[in-house]
Amino acid sequence: MRLAPIDDFFLLDDRPTHPMTFTSHLYFTGDVCRDAFTEALEAALLRHPLLIALVKPLKGNRPCWVSSDGLRPEVHWGKLGELYELRSGEGIDLTKEVGLRIWVRRGNERSEILLQFHHSCCDGTGAYRFIGDLLAEYGRRTAAEGAELPELEDCDPQLLRQRRLKMARVYVDGRAWTVIRKAIGHGWKVFCTRVTPMAAPHQEVVAQYGPQMPFPGVQSYQFSKQEHLKLRAVASEAGVMLNDLLMAEMFRVLKDWNIRHGQMRQQQLRIMMPTDLRDKEDLMMPAANMTAYSYLTRRARECVEGVQFLRGIRDETALIKHERRGQVFIDAIMSASRVPGLLKFLLNRRSCLATMTLSNVGDPTRRFLARFPRQQGKIVAGNLVLDRISGVPPLRPMMRGTVAIVTYCRELAINIRCDPQTITAEDARELLDAYAARLRSNLA
């Protein structure tokens, strides 16, 4: 099966210094049962074939998804508190290894499960489809006698074969030339606009993943349920969505950060925002990519206080949704792929594609296809209670930070990872605290 355009994009954008992988980190009350987890993992993987596939050149030497002939992700078991070791580096070579790695840590009736996905295999929504199935299969094996069991919904692997054609609108749209012209214009803006990166306060930093920044290198800040509701109310009073407030405050923080660390000649700041192209017809699709990127760009001098800037963000995010600009991004990479080597050249240019990625994930458990019993609002999977979820999108060269906003049990968490090659753990924490402080200032 041919790779979909976005799969190919992530494969081309993969590099040893900045692997195109992302993590999801699950925290539980309860002790993971090893035998039940092993059985549940196999059952869940069979429902999500791209997570146990390899990439090989077929069909005119084009990269295709092929069977791995029984290859499975290795599960690394250890005690709670042990580091998550990377035996062969952070990158995943999809020609030799399936695009999923798993670590389990246990101790004192607490457990953590860390999953690392290659972005060519699936996006965040696809990852949570799989995670929901994994927890449901596990819960059905470890629930107490007479307890309510998780319920699994059907998956339809045939939807994977329709995915490429659905995303490749540039080839099937009746107004193909109009689509191509728009895509070329969008691609020029994305790849050729001069964007200011986030300042790196200590350029001499660090061997990757030194003792201060162990993998997965994610730091978090938590807002309570009451604070989360207040932030939503503040956004509503200003006539915007919470996502618009999150975007506006990130622009302001990035501007202030760069000034504070001596980067005075700022031009344009850009936030990259993942967008989901799924519709109701894709509900039963197994883990896969149906994502695209939208970009919000502002001159640094525009990132000022006041409601006018905030409402400008609101107007643009509304247009992104209404005009499905994420699809235009897919059209752009499809158009570039028609010229041999062009997309790879654009991705390998030493330029900043975006200052920061910001993904407002919402509640990841709403992306589960499975249905679960709950305990005080928390997912119950057999002998485990899901307490917290963290994770972030991938990093790429010159984009020194990536943020995911996650809500669970009505609490809101900011998760951040900064490039360990240029940003220290202390610097990352400083940036996270500055962003949290700006959001918290809205609660006064």
Give residue-wise pLDDT tens across range 383-437: 999 999 999 999 998 899 999 999 999 999 999 999 988 888 899 999 999 999 9
What is the mean predicted confidence (pLDDT) over 259-285? 87
Q: Which domains does the chain have, with CATH numbers?
A: 5-441 (3.30.559.30)
Q: Is the pLDDT of residue 327 over 80?
A: no
Residue 401 phi, psi dihedral angles, 5° rounding: -150, 150
172, pLDDT greater than 50: no
pLDDT band for 325, please (50, 70, 90 cuts).
low
User: Any residues with CB less than 8 A from the CB of 4 and at least 6 apart, and which?
Assistant: 163, 164, 167, 168, 288, 289
391: left (phi over 0), alpha (psi -120 to 50) or beta: left
More confident residue, 281 or 39: 39
Q: Is the torsion defined by CA of 318, 194, 331, 405 positive or negative?
A: negative
Token readout for 147 is 């307890």
**The pLDDT value given to residue 429:** 96
CA angle, 310 as apex, 306 and 313 as ends, to 5°? 150
**Per-residue model confidence (pLDDT) at position 326:** 65
122, pLDDT greater than 60: yes
Note the pLDDT of residue 174: 45
pLDDT over threshold 80, residue 91? yes
Band of residue 177 on the pLDDT scale cut at 50, 70, 90: very low
